[in-house]
Structure 1
Amino acid sequence: KDRLSFMRFLGLTLADRVPDANSIWNFREALTRATQGGVPATEALFRRFEAQLRSAGFIAMGGQIVDATVVAAPKQRNTEGEKQALREGRIPEDRARKPAKLRQKEFANGTPMVRETLANDARWTVKQGKAKPGLDGAPRIAIAIPVHGYKNHVGIDRRHGLIRTWTATDAARHDGAELPGLLDRTNTGSAVRADTAYRPAKNEDHLARAGFTSRIHRRKPKGRPMPKHVSRANAVKSEVRARVEHVFARQKGPMGLVVRTIGLARATVKIGLANLVYNMRRMVWLAGAAPA
């Protein structure tokens, strides 16, 4: 009962019992398994709230912005002895004595797979970045940062900044591969904005056939400098595309989005609920910011 606002949100009074951690876990497990009309329950909830957004006048407008972010998950740490046992196709002795720990490994026909990968479907990927500039003013050095977890792929509308479409995958999934499933055909604008990862020829063809206008960043030609007109066009696109970063900053900052469960199904529920809650909070802000 540390937060009365939480209790009010759940419809609880001071006389009611607050659900403990096990009750919340069981509810989330039921949500993971549940479907509505063949649609996963989390997606069905998201669609129902999307309908409420439209009823309130927050229709998708101005085109859409697509991007993805990595949602961190716990890293796997094996001792040298466990690694050797897995390479030999044996179950590590410590895991054999602890069934709960044993379930966290991938298995094939009852034996551990040689490659060491969690059963939680989380994968490694590399995030490109740049080191901080030195005191001498030297140019920043490009660095590659390994990250482990899942990806939250979203499409927002430019006008309201609300998440209209989303999918969850492992972190190794290429961003561009998710573009067709993220396109919102109800948006009143035809422009689709994204970074260069979404610009393979297959995606460009798909956008053209579906009636969308590509505003995806252009790549720098190999071995040649970026043409000035392309650089200027990319800069203009970046000003608009940056809005999707506000979504991820809010989820990873105040909302503290991380995945601590096992399996893509549970991770999808966690990510989907985070997207739903973001839209709820965004709607409250938009309603307050709208003129009376």
Structure 2
Amino acid sequence: MRQKDRDTRWTVKYSKAKPREDGQPQVDLAVPSLGYKNHVPADLAHGLIRKWLVTDAAAHDGARLPDLLDKTNTASGVWADTAYRSEKNETFMAKNGFVSQVHRKKPKGKPMPDRTRKANALKSMVRYIFAHQKGPMAAIVRTIGKARAETKIGMINLAYNMLRLMWLERKRAPA
């Protein structure tokens, strides 16, 4: 039992397969996933992580949004992926003075309208933290237990903030 992580839950993530060369329709891939998620709100002006929340992989992202939002942030806009879009979250953001910049979902069985696709692309420009953590930082969490995962994810977020701060300082320094 020491080697089994009892704090996390299995979930299934769906992703698109690569386009087929034979012209057959593309099929969604169901990929089982076990682990933890890192939920972070960032300061829009500086790109620094202001706080974080760790949940198991099966936890619904949208339910965590009210815990992440902070009125003392430098902007009222909320940029997030489609998992955070719900009527409840949109109402919460409107009541608390936040402006929703949450991605819109593709209509089921139809192509995504150009206007929505372009708007989502613009919204994606702000969401770079996870790409940086997965890419250049090569952040991988392989721990047993939520407490250890929270510690490691917290350290990854702290390291990201340090790298970001160094970048901001270099940017401000005269040439």
Which TM class, normalised by the smaller chain length?
0.7 to 0.9
Higher helix fraction (1 or 2): 1
**Using the alignment, how far apart are the partners of 1:225 and 1:252 within structure 2?**
29
Q: Once the 2 structures are TM-superposed, how far is the Cα of residue 126 of structure 1 from its aligned partner? A: 1.9
Q: Check whether the contact 2:85–2:103 (CA below 8 A) recurs between aligned residues.
A: yes
Task: Provide the residue aligned with 2:151 in structure 1.
Answer: 269
5+ residue gaps in structure 1? 1-101, 106-117
Partner deviation per Cα, 1:136-188 (whole Å, 9 max, x = no partner): 45554322211211111111233332222210011111111111111121123
Task: Provide the residue aligned with 1:76 in structure 2.
Answer: none
- Larger C-alpha radius of gyration, 1 or 2? 1
Task: Provide the residue aligned with 2:57 in structure 1.
Answer: 171
**Using the alignment, how far apart are the partners of 2:163 and 2:111 within structure 1?**
43
Which residue identity lines up with residue 240 of structure 1 in the other structure? K
**Using the alignment, how far apart are the partners of 1:236 and 1:181 within structure 2?**
26
Question: Superposition pairs for residues 148-159 of structure 1, below 5 Å?
Answer: 148-159=34-45
What's the TM-score, normalizing by structure 1?
0.53
**Using the alignment, how far apart are the partners of 2:71 and 2:78 within structure 1?**
11
Task: Provide the residue aligned with 1:282 in structure 2.
Answer: 164
Pick aligned residue for 1:201 from 78, 87, 106: 87
Q: Check whether the contact 2:38–2:52 (CA below 8 A) recurs between aligned residues.
A: yes
Which residue identity lines up with residue 72 of structure 2 in the other structure? T
Matched, 1:181 2:71: no
SS in 1 for 2:52: strand
Q: Once the 2 structures are TM-superposed, how far is the Cα of residue 134 of structure 1 from its aligned partner? A: 2.7
Which residue identity lines up with residue 138 of structure 2 in the other structure? G
**Using the alignment, how far apart are the partners of 1:241 and 1:214 within structure 2?**
13
Structure 1 residues 140 and 103, CA gap change in structure 2 (3 angstroms): same
Matched, 1:237 2:123: no
SS in 2 for 1:157: coil
Matched, 1:260 2:146: no
Paired residues in the alignment total: 174
Partner deviation per Cα, 1:221-262 (whole Å, 9 max, x = no partner): 556665x4xx41452233232442x32232223433223332
**Using the alignment, how far apart are the partners of 1:257 and 1:217 within structure 2?**
25
Q: Check whether the contact 2:104–2:120 (CA below 8 A) recurs between aligned residues.
A: no
Partner deviation per Cα, 1:49-88 (whole Å, 9 max, x = no partner): xxxxxxxxxxxxxxxxxxxxxxxxxxxxxxxxxxxxxxxx
Task: Provide the residue aligned with 2:17 in structure 1.
Answer: 131
5+ residue gaps in structure 2? none
Percent identity, aligned pairs only, is 56
Which residue identity lines up with residue 241 of structure 1 in the other structure? S
Q: In angstroms, what is the RMSD of aligned CA positions?
A: 2.4
SS in 2 for 1:163: coil
